[in-house]
Amino acid sequence: MQVLISTELAPYRIGSGQYIFLMAIARMEATTQKALSEKLLIDKTTTAKAIAKLEAEGYVRREADPADNRYQLLYLTESGREVAPKVQAALNRVKNKTRKGIADEEYDLLLSLLKTVLRNLSEQEEMPR
C-alpha cells in the first residue's frame, strides 16, 4: 500500500510518511505536534520530521498558541487546504484497490483488528536491553 500511496502522492511532493499528518491537521486544525503524535500513536521524532517536511513544502504553518506561548499550533496553509482533497482522493483510490473482493463487514473487521494490534503495540513496555 505504501508504494501505491507514494506513487499517487508524488505529484504533490508528499511522501507516504507525511500524508497521515497532513490529513490529521486538516481534521484537527490548531493542534500541537505533541497532540498529533498522541492521536496518531507515532513517536515525537517522526512527527517532527514529517511536520518539518510539510512545512518546507508550504502545506503547514506554525503559530504561537495564544493561550500558552510555549506551544505552537499547526495549521494548513492555503496550499495545504488545496492539496488535502486531492490527497484524500488519492488515498480513496488506493483504499478501493485494497477493498476489491472484500465485503464491507469483513473490511471493517480487518480495520478494527489492525487498530487493536496498533494499540497493543503502542502500549507495550520498553524492551529490556
Q: Which helix (H) or strand (E) holds 28?
A: none
The amino acid occupying position 47 is: T
Q: Which helix (H) or strand (E) holds 64?
A: strand 60-65
From the list 60, 105, 103, 100, the residue with the least C-alpha distance to 80 is 60
pLDDT at 126 over 60: no
Q: Which helix (H) or strand (E) holds 58?
A: none
How far apart CA 9 and CA 3 sit, in angstroms, is 10
pTM of the model: 0.81
pLDDT digits over 60-92, tens only? 999 998 888 888 999 999 999 999 999 999 999
Overall average pLDDT of the 87-102 stretch: 93
Contact 22, 59 (CB under 8 A): yes
**Domains in the chain, ordered, with CATH?**
2-123 (1.10.10.10)
Write down the pLDDT at residue 24.
96
